[in-house]
Amino acid sequence: MNDELAVLILAAGQGTRMKSDLAKVLHPLLGRPMLAHVLETVRGLKPDRLVVVVGHQAEKVQEACGAPDVAFALQQPQRGTGHAVAQARSALAGFEGTVLILYGDVPLIRPATLAGFLGDHARLGGRLSLLSVDLPDPGAYGRVIRDPEGRLLRVVEARDANPEELAVPEINTGLYAVEAGLLFDLIDRLTPNNDQQEYYLTDIVGLAREQGVSPFVFKAADAEEVLGVNTVEELERSEGYLKRRAEEK
């Protein structure tokens, strides 16, 4: 098994709920862009490749967070998370290891959480794994749907879910570990047959099962650590979380 690691950070969104002209991942968190916190965290994994997909205010994001170890891929127009991953194909050309996918608006994730997730994925010989968490109020997050034996069946976006699926408290954090060759094979099979007419990355779970690949799901212990920042209020709460974490050290 190839033990090389690539990290792919999706950071193309505008973040309209922030009510600001600034790209969401550039909003300051303890004096640094939100994306800078994510980059610092994943560098602790010592990835062989580090790719950031940019879109809204791409030049500003590259200027703020550019570094010799970061390759940028442009998503323009933005047609969903699956489409975003597709834009990283050339940056990951020839790479055959594991691709860790996460988002530029999840600045609280700890290196130990990512390392543990990757370790579990490798231990089980996984080809596709995702990280989930239980929420008392799962709201607009995609739901993790399991079979009666607890195996991962699919992920359904909230806007496309039926009432029974919406009642599921387990949500998809958007963090994936995927074998590179499998990833782009699945990306090529995505279709925009959903309410948003977008290419959902979440659909790779169901597509993998159709190909005979057993996807794994692992639960994170700390919900706050793995949730995205979508509003000014959530950004302020994240600052408090990081301050408390710093005081604990």
The C-alpha angle 54, 56, 61, rounded to 5 degrees, equals: 55
Q: Is 32 a catalytic residue?
A: no
> CA–CA separation, 99 vs 84, rounded Å?
14
Beta bridge partners of 215: none
What's at 24, amino acid-wise?
K
Structural tokens at position 224: 């706050």
Contacts by 1-5 with C-beta closer than 8 Å and gap 24+? 1/122, 1/125, 2/96, 2/97, 2/98, 3/97, 3/98, 3/122, 4/48, 4/95, 4/96, 4/97, 4/98, 5/45, 5/46, 5/47, 5/48, 5/49, 5/97, 5/98, 5/100, 5/118
Q: What is the DSSP string of 193-229?
A: -STT-S--GGGHHHHHHHTT---EEEE-S-HHHH---
Q: Which residue has the tokens 């030049």?
A: 59
Structural tokens at position 151: 């195996």
> CA–CA separation, 154 vs 60, rounded Å?
36
- Residue of 107, 110, 45, 106 whose CA lies nearest to 248: 110
Structural tokens at position 66: 């550019």
Residues with catalytic roles: 17
